[in-house]
Amino acid sequence: MTDLTIHEAARKLAARNIRSTDLTRACLDRIAARDTTLNAFIAVLGDRATADAEQADREIDSGRYRGPLHGIPISLKDLIDLEGVPTTAASRVRAHHVACGDAPVAAALKAAGAVILGKTNLHEFAFGTTSEDSAYGPVRNPHDPSRSPGGSSGGSAAAVVAGMGLGSIGTDTGGSIRIPAAACGIVGLKPGAGELSCAGVVPLSWTLDNVGPLARSVTDAWILYEAMRGTPGRDIQPLDAPPLHGVRLGVLGGYFVDFLEEGVRERFGEAVEALRAAGASITHVQIPHAPLIPAIYLHLVLADAAAYHAEMLDAAFDQYTRAVALRISMGRYILAEDYARARRGRAILRAHVDDCLERCSALLLPTLPITAPKIGATVVELGPKKDTLRNVMLRLTQPFNLTGHPAISLPCGGAVPPGGGAPLPVGLQIVGRRAGTIDLLRLARTIEEIV
């Protein structure tokens, strides 16, 4: 039962073939069985979730069905306020914080009838890509617990994969939804900039943050996205999938394919060929200045993070994990003139991506250049090329936080990691036009059937 998609479970709940209390209990049992290993949750809200599930069953029994999230157990990244529950951001700095209200996205999910199972673990303050630096210990990848699930929404991704809830809500400042979705083999959506409220969500960067869903299918991601927009549908229909014939898709070259694990390159190439065979028109595109993306991103995210954390850093530096405290401290040295240069670069990058998307319906690239890294890894070497793990993991996702375009990661098979072992998930990233998140989701729905 815990392996159902939201869409499948909704059909069964609406038909009263299953009960929300049973589904919620099954998820709580799965958490009890698996989370000692995976460490995906910071807080499990068993009593509260059970009470909410009982209410959902009563409402459904009496004909007051709210729609496809009614009675569905999900989780929230512990960066998102839920009234009466601590929002720790995985940091000792916030150990005593208790949310005095729901974040608007949490309120919208509750209004749609979702049952909140708990708050998921993350990289402290969302400032990292592995979910290792957490006051509550590292999150582990359900496919191989010696590996990271990616981050920063690593607990959310691990929970969805392991049946500890049918979906989860994460945040994405440089890839923190899409990276763990790719590393864990699920769907992760970063909506277009500003579409979903970030109020009541502990910020990393006011100009780059997004809230979005992690789920087992594109339809499930769409259901969660619509609920968070405050426009949940009442019908239980899958998202329509338009035909691919004649759709022009742009494959990004240069910087975007220069640093890839061989297995990731192979799966990506196979996905592109499958889409071509299914009728898509494939064209190759370049983004000028792409090699400057990490520098632009670094100046913006560090400055924003330093501004938010300044007082806490002065008062409680030693309460942060060392790596996160040092990274935030870097932002306090950035000069205003360099911040302005980064803003200029961001605007130019956005214009170039817009230009590509006037010629294509969407852009294609891998989500993550590598398979899930071993916990403790800090450097990636691919032949003669070498870079820090953080740079590598952010490389292909951060561009679209800078430009604000919606982007989604879909699973596209598995690859044997360097050094051997069982295949690990690989993610395909699809980037849509600004203000085109629904169109992107429809296209992704078609593509998920093909890759």
Partner 1 sequence: MTVQEWLRAAQADAERRGLVDLKPLLETLAQATAALREAAFEDDSGLTAQRSRLHD
Q: How many residues bind partner 1, per CB under 8 A?
A: 33
Nearer to partner 1, 137 or 333 (CB): 333
> What's the min distance (Å) between Cβ of 175 and partner 1?
18
Catalytic option among 20, 91, 152, 409: 152
Quote the least distance from Cβ 372 to partner 1, whole Å. 24
Q: Which stretch binds partner 1 (CB under 8 A): 77-85, 122-130, 154-162, 351-359?
A: 351-359
Catalytic residue check, 110: no
Shortest Å distance, C-beta 345 to partner 1: 6
* Selection from 365, 364, 366 nearest residue 426 by Cα: 366
Residue 84 interacting with partner 1 (CB under 8 A): no
Which C-beta is closer to partner 1: that of 85 or that of 296?
296
User: H or E element: which one contains 290?
Assistant: none
CA–CA distance, 91 with 134 (Å, rounded to integer)? 6
CA atoms 330, 331, 332, 334: torsion sign: positive
Total Cβ atoms within 10 A of residue 97: 15
Q: How far apart are the first and last CA of the chain?
A: 26
User: Contacting partner 1 (CB under 8 A), which of 55, 197, 207, 281?
Assistant: 207
Alpha helices (H) along 281-388: 293-316, 322-330, 336-359
Interface segment toward partner 1; rule CB under 8 A; list 41-49, 99-107, 266-274, 335-343: 335-343
Task: Please say which residue, 169 or 302, places its beta carbon nearer to partner 1.
Answer: 302
User: 385 an active-site residue?
Assistant: no
Contact segment (CB under 8 A) with partner 1 among 171-179, 215-223, 246-254, 319-327 equals 319-327
281 labelled catalytic: no
**Residue 232, exposed/middle/buried by CB under 10 A (0-12, 13-18, 19+)?**
buried
**Omega cis (within 30) before 329:** no
**Degrees, nearest 5: CA angle 134-325-36:** 5
Tell which one of 22, 46, 329, 414 touches partner 1 (CB under 8 A): 329
Question: What span, in angstroms and rounded, lies between the C-alpha atoms of 352 and 346?
Answer: 10
**Residues assigned a catalytic role:** 77, 152, 176
The residues binding partner 1 (CB under 8 A) are 207, 288-289, 291-292, 294-296, 298-299, 302, 322, 326-327, 329-330, 333-335, 338, 341-348, 350-352, 354-355
